[in-house]
């Protein structure tokens, strides 16, 4: 006789499997996530300026966090100590700000210590809507915070501003994993315990946003670690992935492109004639299938160059010329 399994037993088994994944991710990543107590200088001395979380990148002290967690902190030569980083093992280390890029909401810090447990960075490009993700922060110093949920949406854009400079952070991850106060700068991880995003904002009840870990953000982190700043070209568009129309698929032999969602006024994109709902097919001779393909071309070498763009507007194929400006904070 074949044994039967009740619905309660099936539910219990599913819950146990879910719990095991979340527990494994938490145990793997919690030692790599620090609580930040940020300080700022005033005439009365150093005073608390806020708190957040950070993720260890290297054993020798490099940390990754959100730029808005360290507002007004100095970076580069002559930088001053910005606060304290506390880990779940009880260590509390001073840190300095190495580099801040407010236009991607990322910052790199350097803690005064070694033998940190670095997190493994994953690839946000591999995420799928509905996939399990775990948000890990350390908002209260020695008591880490773990929440779990699913990827609610991909390809979102998040506005970022530095002074008068405006840019969209593309491919932002939307999740329903609850973000607690102080979780900004903490890790969003997949079921393997790899960091696929840096938690950056609460978009509403049950909605959190994370800056993705992908080829573009890896270059930003590398530049911040190396130079303390990021130089990039600027087009002034917000875009998202879009399937190509059938006739374009046949012509190009591929399935996707980038749709222009918004064009920033008085930007290189607007001056070139790009419009919302245009489909960006090719840029500087490179096929454009994802937003990352555009960002990969917006390096310091692209600044001031004239780049040829192939665009599909309705049924019309257009050739436009784009000249990226330098995107600078301020």
> What pLDDT digit, counting tens, does each position of 132-146 carry?
999 998 765 545 688
Write down the pLDDT at residue 14. 61
Contact predicate 199/208, CB 8 Å? yes
Q: What is the predicted pLDDT for the residue at 195?
A: 97
Q: How far apart are CA 299 and CA 219, in angstroms?
A: 9
Average pLDDT, integer, range 151-155: 91
Going from the C-alpha of 176 to that of each of 98, 129, 148, 153, 202, the distances in angstroms are 32, 11, 8, 9, 10
Determine the Cα–Cα distance for residues 71 and 104; give it in Å rounded to an integer.
14
- Residue 3 vs residue 320, higher pLDDT: 320
Residue that wins the pLDDT comparison between 58 and 12: 58
Q: Are 255 and 249 in contact (CB under 8 A)?
A: yes
b (16+ CB within 10 A) / e for 24-33: ebbebbbbbb
What does the alpha-carbon distance between residue 225 and residue 165 come to, in Å, rounded to a whole number? Answer: 22
CA angle at 323 for the pair 321 and 329, rounded to the nearest 5°:
150
Q: What would the pLDDT profile of 179-192 be if each residue is shown by its tens digit?
A: 876 788 999 999 99
Contact 24, 68 (CB under 8 A): no
For 289-322, write each residue's pLDDT tens digit: 988 789 889 888 899 999 999 999 999 999 999 9
Average pLDDT, the chain: 86
Note whether 288 and 281 are within 8 A (CB). Answer: yes
pLDDT of residue 256: 96
Most confident of 34-48, 186-200, 284-298: 186-200
Q: What is the mean pLDDT of residues 209-228?
A: 92
Given a cut of 70, whether residue 153 has pLDDT beyond it is yes
> What was the pLDDT predicted at 211?
95
Residues 6+ apart with CB under 8 A from 150: 129, 130, 131, 132, 133, 175, 176, 177
The catalytic residues are 68, 105, 184
SS3 184: coil
Distance between CA atoms of 93 and 40, rounded to whole angstroms? 17
The answer to whether 272 and 264 are in contact (CB under 8 A) is no
Alpha-carbon span 95 to 80, nearest angstrom: 9
Name the band, by pLDDT with cuts 50, 70 and 90, for residue 58: very high
Domains, the chain, in order of start with CATH, read 1-230 (2.40.10.120), 232-327 (2.30.42.10)
pLDDT over threshold 60, residue 3: no
Output the pLDDT for position 137: 87
- Is a pLDDT exceeding 60 seen at residue 78? no
> Is 84 a residue whose pLDDT tops 60?
yes
Write down the pTM of the prediction.
0.75
Looking at residue 292, its pLDDT comes to 78
């Amino acid at each position: 006789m074949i044994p039967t399994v009740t619905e309660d037993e099936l539910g219990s088994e599913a819950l146990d499997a879910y719990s095991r994944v979340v527990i494994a991710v938490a145990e793997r990543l919690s030692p790599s996530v620090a609580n930040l107590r940020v300080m700022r200088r005033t005439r009365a001395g150093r005073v608390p300026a806020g708190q957040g979380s950070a993720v260890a990148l290297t054993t020798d002290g490099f940390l990754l966090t959100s730029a808005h967690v360290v507002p007004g902190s100095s970076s580069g030569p002559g930088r001053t100590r910005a606060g304290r980083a506390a880990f779940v093992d009880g260590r509390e280390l001073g840190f300095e700000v190495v580099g801040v890029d407010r236009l991607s909401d990322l910052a790199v810090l350097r803690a005064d210590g070694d033998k940190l447990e670095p997190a493994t960075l994953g690839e946000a490009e591999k995420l799928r809507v509905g996939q399990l993700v775990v948000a890990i922060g350390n908002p209260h110093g020695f008591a880490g915070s773990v929440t779990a949920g699913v990827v609610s949406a991909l390809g979102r854009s998040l506005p970022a501003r530095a002074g008068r400079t405006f840019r969209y952070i593309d491919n932002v991850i939307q999740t329903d994993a609850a973000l607690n106060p102080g979780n900004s700068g903490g890790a969003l991880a997949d079921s393997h315990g790899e960091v696929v995003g840096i938690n950056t904002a609460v978009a509403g009840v049950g909605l959190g946003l994370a800056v993705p870990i992908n080829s573009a953000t890896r270059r930003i982190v590398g530049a911040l670690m190396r130079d303390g700043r990021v130089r990039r070209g600027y087009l002034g568009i917000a875009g998202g992935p879009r399937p190509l129309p059938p006739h374009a698929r046949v012509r190009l032999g591929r399935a996707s492109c980038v749709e222009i969602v918004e064009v920033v006024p008085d930007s290189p994109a607007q001056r070139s004639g790009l419009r919302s709902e245009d489909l960006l097919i090719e840029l500087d001779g490179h096929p454009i299938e994802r937003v990352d393909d555009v960002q990969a071309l917006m390096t310091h070498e692209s600044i001031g160059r004239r780049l040829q763009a192939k665009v599909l507007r309705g049924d019309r194929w257009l050739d436009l010329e784009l000249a990226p400006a330098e995107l600078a904070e301020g």
